[in-house]
Amino acid sequence: MSDSLTRAEPVSSEPFAAQGVTITLAPPMARLSLRARDRATLEDLLGRKLPAKIGATAGEIACLGPDEWLLRSAQGAAIPLGEGLPLAVTEISERAVCLIVEGPRAAEVLMAGCPLDLELFASGRATRTIFETVEIILIRSGENRFEVEVWRSFAPWLQLALTTAAAQLR
């Protein structure tokens, strides 16, 4: 039955460009919420190191809280769920979409609605934060490149807000 369903994105996948800033919908990806009191149990399960510091990233994994990580990877990657272990691996791929804000003035566009001082937010950092009143996860994946994870139903508003901020850069 699922063969008859076609994927619908909550926002247009047409890239937007203004003032040297592009805003693009990222292709679909796998997302997993990783929770454990003891980081080592997750590291054993996944066979890779997890960042220990809140706000740090290591490859595909971001540390969001003292016992919380977000893993984003290509679709179809096999991740063990760790049944019976004192941890939780939860599939949340379709909860959010990702908008990529890129360009020399990308930080300025985000600071239109995000209270973080992005000049101090180095490349490789990630955090849950807020844009106006909408919760986002902000990942700085390059000097001029930000990935904004946002829950699907908030994405149309956020895309409008970001493209409007970009169009109004002077």
Binding site for another protein (CB under 8 A): 54-55, 64-66, 68, 115-116, 127-130, 135
Torsion angle, alpha carbons of 83, 97, 58, 67, to 10: -50
Closest CA to 132 of 101, 103, 165: 165
Nearest-approach distance from CB 6 to another protein, in angstroms: 33
Q: Which is nearer to another protein, 21 or 136 (CB)?
A: 136
Task: Report the Cα 115 to chain-centroid distance in Å.
Answer: 17
Q: Are 162 and 99 in contact (CB under 8 A)?
A: yes
Say if CB 117 and CB 55 are below 8 A apart. no
C-beta of 2: minimal distance to another protein in Å?
Answer: 33
CB of 66 to another protein, least distance (A): 5
Rounded to the nearest whole angstrom, what is the least distance from the CB of residue 13 to another protein in the complex?
A: 27
Shortest distance in whole angstroms from residue 129 CB to another protein: 6
Which is closer to another protein, CB of 18 or CB of 118? 118
Angle at 89 between CA 138 and CA 42, to 5 degrees: 90
Q: What is the arrangement of strands in the sheet containing 16-18, beginning at the earlier edge strand?
A: 16-18, 21-25, 96-102, 145-151, 134-142, 126-131
Q: In the complex with another protein, which residue's Cβ is closer, 30 or 114?
A: 114
Smaller CB distance to another protein: residue 9 or 132?
Answer: 132
Give the helix ranges, DSSP H, for the chain. 39-46, 106-111, 155-167
Q: Which is nearer to another protein, 116 or 169 (CB)?
A: 116
